[in-house]
Amino acid sequence: MTTIPPSGIPPTGFSRSGRRSLLICGIVLLGMALLAAADWYSALPTTATGHYVGRDSCVQCHAKQVDQWHGSHHDRAMEIPSETSVLGDFDDTSFTRFGVTTRFFRHDGKYLVNTEGPDGELHDYEIKYTFGVEPLQQYMVEFPDGRVQVLRVSWDTVKHEWFYVTPPDVIDERIEPGDPLHWTGIGQNWNTMCAECHSTNLQKNYDLATNTYQTTYSEIDVSCETCHGPASLHLELAESRSLFWDRRHGYGLAELKQAKSTEQVETCAPCHSRRSQIHADFRAGEKFLDHFDPSLLHAGLYHADGQILDEVYVYGSFLQSKMYHEGVRCTDCHNPHSLKLKFKGNRLCAQCHLPGKYDSPTHHHHTDPAGTQCINCHMVEKIYMVVDGRRDHSFRIPRPDLSEQLKTPNACNSCHTKPEESSAWAAKAVREWYGDKRRGDPHYGVAIEAGRRGAPEGVELLKDLLSRRQTPGIVRATAVELLANYPSEEIERESRKAIDDSNPLVRTAALRVFSHDLLQRFPQQVAKHLQDAIRLVRITAARRLAGEPSQLIDAEYRGPLDQALAEYRNAQEVMQERATAQLNLAAFHHALGNGQAVLKSLQTAMRLEPYLSGVRDKLASLLEQSGGDSEEIRKLRAEEANLLARDCKLLPDSTVLQYRRGMLLYLLGEYDQARQALEKACELGPEAYSNWLALALICEKQERWQQAGEALKQMNTLRPNDPAVRGILQRIQQARGEP
């Protein structure tokens, strides 16, 4: 029974003390909410950056992941020699190739090798590091100047025997000391060629003046912070008493699990791509194209249809795949810590592709175990480094019909190798199984193959390829480069469209091939990319504008031009120990009109790599273009002419070498020798207009009128009505007193 108080007002259910408790509780909750809000709001500055702390800091919270990582290829990417790390037989064993015997042995607890050194003599060297673990292990030697060199004699961990890792283009030849491909040469130099991808937080520390290295790393192998980024910020946040992760920095690591796959793929790309470096100190989570310039589908690297050819690793292939464009990422198939596949066999693909449809005879039409495996048809394996099988990550549909047309390999004939099992035979079987229509046609390989040949039909094929927006960016960028082989107003319009493409690879390619005439007419279209969000695009635009008159560029872009030019110069200095970078700098300074800097870069290139293939052509070309006739330039020209004389003996059928030598001798005033070299160039390359032009000019110089006339006839045949022919002919007639 409820008692009515004398006031006549019914009770509220709370006493005065109850109401006080409720108020206190509300105040406490409000205070807690305010504290939580303050805790959330008190974020670290946006400029806060992490530093490397080492994997020991990760173990306490991430023991499972570290345990999976132990023994992985990342863990064993590089190690100090020990009983557990060395897999090769160092019990006084030998390996002989082309008369050079390499002996592996141990002494006083050290692992040693006796082999041919840079002087051609046999020496004992201590093994400083092991390199890799499967299917081969290599061994490295450190020299007093800080260079670490990788031996070519390596250990096959499957066959348990020593073998020689041959360069792909020098399989059955002896590599002499002094050759850049000798194990002591630049091609086998760890500091420049390998180290960045086998250790954590590598600092090359190269000194150009002394040509020495003092290379360091935080951890000897590929550890946690290589993929997740420097972890000090993460550690600070994890050990703080905050209720939340930082609202600005999240976990303080690279966000590799976000909705878009790009960040994860670009974190793996630096070590799994064929690329050049344009900015040092890449950290996980940063933009790949701010630090690297990946190779496009160039001849010699990729087949015309995009299949892997040379050692291009994975990224360039994966960019071509439908998987990449559907958001598939590396960790969908690979455990990121153990690096093992997440599932065995076709179960891996069945994560996305219904087994009932694809893992059945109605799809693969095979009964043998090999023929029923998805990867054998869609990820063909190619062998590199003699024993290392790597799979093409473009996940392509087998196209034996393209093999007939483009002379490319195909998955079918990688297994079916009998004489009667031709690509035509395979193409017929595929048509019978799936019909005449092929998914993805018209295939971009047809356009790229035509463009590489410079075939007339290449224009329309490449234009059509560019118009298809679903075509992968790396393919479209390649098409833009190839279209430059067909100069016309129509192609200029394509270049102008491509320069503003949404894909940075396409923008970069378009900037590189933007003609000088277009640049003069539309300079601001190039200049606006000086402020592009991507560093690779910015420095490419800057290089195109280097040396152009300042009035050509709007005032608003002159500051960004200076900044982007500095970025370009810094990009070359990342690899300043390579002659190619020095030659790029020489061409850059030549464009800016800085003669002393040109000379310095040329001299440095000669000092670093005087014999390197490919570099020599660029060097000779720059020496031909270099103004003035200083003693330094004459000396460089003479040195290069002597080297070319040696090369001409080694490669007597090279028209390019003969032409280069002839031109340098001409500039040195050695006219008889120059003429003889150019005569040989014309004999070897009668279709090359430049050979006959150079010969005509030197014969005019020596008043060898009849020979000059013969050269002019050849020029006129190659280029009828060329004004250069008329000009030389008029000078000869005047010199001979002819009307």
- 273, 314 Cβ separation under 8 angstroms: yes
**Bigger pLDDT: 658 vs 275:** 275
Average pLDDT score, the chain: 90
Quick one: average pLDDT of 325-330?
95
Residue 49 has pLDDT above 90, yes or no: no
For residues 190 and 268, membership in a common domain is answered with no
pLDDT, position 43: 67
Q: For 123-150, how does the pLDDT look when each residue is reduced to its tens digit (9 = 90+)?
A: 999 999 999 999 999 999 999 999 999 9
Q: For position 634, which CATH number holds? A: 1.25.40.10
pLDDT, position 630: 67
- The amino acid at residue 53 is V
- Could you say which of 398, 431, 463 is where a domain stops? 398
Lowest mean pLDDT among 404-408, 564-568, 594-598: 594-598
**Bigger pLDDT: 8 vs 338:** 338
Residue 459 has pLDDT above 60, yes or no: yes
Quick one: average pLDDT of 627-648?
76
For residues 142 and 193, membership in a common domain is answered with yes
Per the structure, the complete domain to which residue 302 belongs is given by 262-398
Q: What is the CA radius of gyration of the chain?
A: 32
Quick one: average pLDDT of 567-584?
94
| Segment of 42-46, 307-311, 490-494 carrying the highest mean pLDDT | 307-311
Residue 633 has pLDDT above 60, yes or no: yes
Does residue 98 sit within a domain?
yes
Q: How many CB atoms lie within 10 A of CB 98?
A: 10
pLDDT, position 615: 66
Does residue 95 sit within a domain?
yes
Residue 634 has pLDDT above 50, yes or no: yes
Residue 1's pLDDT band (cuts 50, 70, 90): very low
For residues 217 and 269, membership in a common domain is answered with no
For residues 630 and 698, membership in a common domain is answered with no
Please give the share of the chain, as a percent, with pLDDT higher than 90. 66
d(CA 235, CA 162): 44
H helix or E strand, kind and range, residue 353: none
- Token readout for 396 is 């392509």
Quick one: average pLDDT of 717-728?
82
Q: How far is CA 722 from CA 202, 382, 659, 705, 719, in A?
A: 56, 48, 21, 19, 6
For residues 389 and 291, membership in a common domain is answered with yes
Residue 16 has pLDDT above 90, yes or no: no
Quick one: average pLDDT of 621-639?
72
Quick one: average pLDDT of 693-711?
90
pLDDT, position 363: 93
Does residue 305 sit within a domain?
yes
For residues 635 and 713, membership in a common domain is answered with no
- Could you say which of 398, 417, 434 is where a domain stops? 398
Closest by alpha carbon to 576, among 179, 211, 185?
211
Residue 600's pLDDT band (cuts 50, 70, 90): confident
For residues 142 and 97, membership in a common domain is answered with yes
For residues 268 and 181, membership in a common domain is answered with no
- Could you say which of 191, 222, 253 is where a domain stops? 222
Does residue 548 sit within a domain?
no
Please give the tally of structural domains in the chain.
Answer: 4
H helix or E strand, kind and range, residue 625: helix 615-625
For residues 125 and 197, membership in a common domain is answered with yes
Residue 38 has pLDDT above 90, yes or no: no
Does residue 507 sit within a domain?
no
Lowest mean pLDDT among 5-19, 228-242, 502-516: 5-19
Contacts of 245 (CB under 8 A, 6+ apart): 237, 251, 252
- 162, 93 Cβ separation under 8 angstroms: yes
d(CA 651, CA 184): 24
pLDDT, position 629: 61
| Angle made by CA atoms 575, 600, 617, in degrees to the nearest 5 | 70
d(CA 586, CA 594): 9
pLDDT, position 56: 93
Residue 40's pLDDT band (cuts 50, 70, 90): low
Contacts 24+ apart (CB under 8 A), 133-138: 133/73, 133/76, 133/77, 133/87, 133/157, 134/73, 134/158, 135/387, 135/388, 135/389, 136/163, 136/165, 136/385, 136/386, 136/387, 136/388, 137/86, 137/87, 137/88, 138/165
Quick one: average pLDDT of 604-633?
71
Does residue 366 sit within a domain?
yes
- The upper half-sphere exposure of residue 728, i.e. CA atoms within 13 Å in the direction of its Cβ, equals 27
For residues 638 and 717, membership in a common domain is answered with no
Lowest mean pLDDT among 306-310, 468-472, 623-627, 687-691: 623-627
pLDDT, position 92: 97
d(CA 281, CA 276): 14
For residues 391 and 282, membership in a common domain is answered with yes
Does residue 655 sit within a domain?
yes
For residues 665 and 693, membership in a common domain is answered with no
- 138, 131 Cβ separation under 8 angstroms: yes
Does residue 486 sit within a domain?
no
- Token readout for 586 is 């020489």
d(CA 710, CA 699): 10
